Amino acid sequence: MDYSSSNLFVQMGEWLSDPENWSGSRGIPMRIAEHLGYVGLTMLLALAIAVPLGLYVGHTGKGRVLIVSGVGILRALPTLGMVFLFALLFSRGVLPAVWALVLLAVPPVLSGIYAGVSSVNRTVVDAARSMGLTEWQILTRVELPNGLQVMLGGVRAGVLQVVATATVVAYAKADGLGVFLVEGTQINDNGRLFGGAVVIAAVAIAVDGVMALLQRFAISPGLRTTRPVARSQQESGRQEAVASAQGGTT
């Protein structure tokens, strides 16, 4: 693309305002759709792995040390390096990039699910158990509702990391918003390079805003407000357990 100025910001503005970059199969809207599609696929796989594991460890306490260690190891893995490794070991195309992103998304989601369940007041859990609730009922009626805000915080962190990092898909397959970064670097097109970076940042901010709203409105108003302190911790725990159990049966 020919620019009217050598100024970086002018080039970026001209690239973003060019109608050709907003239409067709290689336009910005299509690239955004591809990018979000990969994010959605990644998060589905990450949730399928992290949610059951986090609920089990958070509820039972078994394997806690192993999970904490595993999360730390996964956080240290370089995403782009894993893309190339999976491409060499398994297949070409988009799957290596998606699985590399899954490894990136699992740690925050798993940590959030585990922390959400384990953060529930043990007095509440013990009171629910003394009322005769099964372990499944305790998990679904007591721990999940009371720990949902922390859990959604972990999911939100995972989504944001994947949105910001899904540009690596362009290295495995010429799709998504990362294409603008790769092409801009290859042909020394600063307008395309930095314009693409601005689009990625805007998408990440928009997605984070949506997740923030979801996190806010998915929580029951009664769990978002501060309750008065009960006469005793045992009485408070029993009252919350009763409320959670009754809420699950209505």
Residue 117 lies in a domain: yes
The per-residue pLDDT for 223 is: 60
Can you give the pTM of this predicted structure?
0.82
Q: The CATH number of the domain where 86 resides is what?
A: 1.10.3720.10
The per-residue pLDDT for 222 is: 62
Q: How many CB atoms lie within 10 A of CB 250?
A: 4
Going by C-alpha positions, the residue among 127, 130, 15 that lies closest to residue 7 is 15
Residue 84 lies in a domain: yes
Residue 13 lies in a domain: no
The per-residue pLDDT for 84 is: 85
Residue 2 lies in a domain: no
> What's the domain range around 98?
35-249
Residue 20 lies in a domain: no
Q: How many domains does the chain have?
A: 1
The per-residue pLDDT for 232 is: 44
Residue 208 lies in a domain: yes
First to last CA, the chain: 62
pLDDT means over runs of 10, the chain (250 residues): 78 91 91 95 96 92 84 86 85 84 94 91 88 90 90 94 92 85 90 94 95 83 50 49 50
Residue 94 lies in a domain: yes
The per-residue pLDDT for 227 is: 43
Per-residue tokens: 18: 């060019």
Residue 236 lies in a domain: yes
The per-residue pLDDT for 152 is: 93
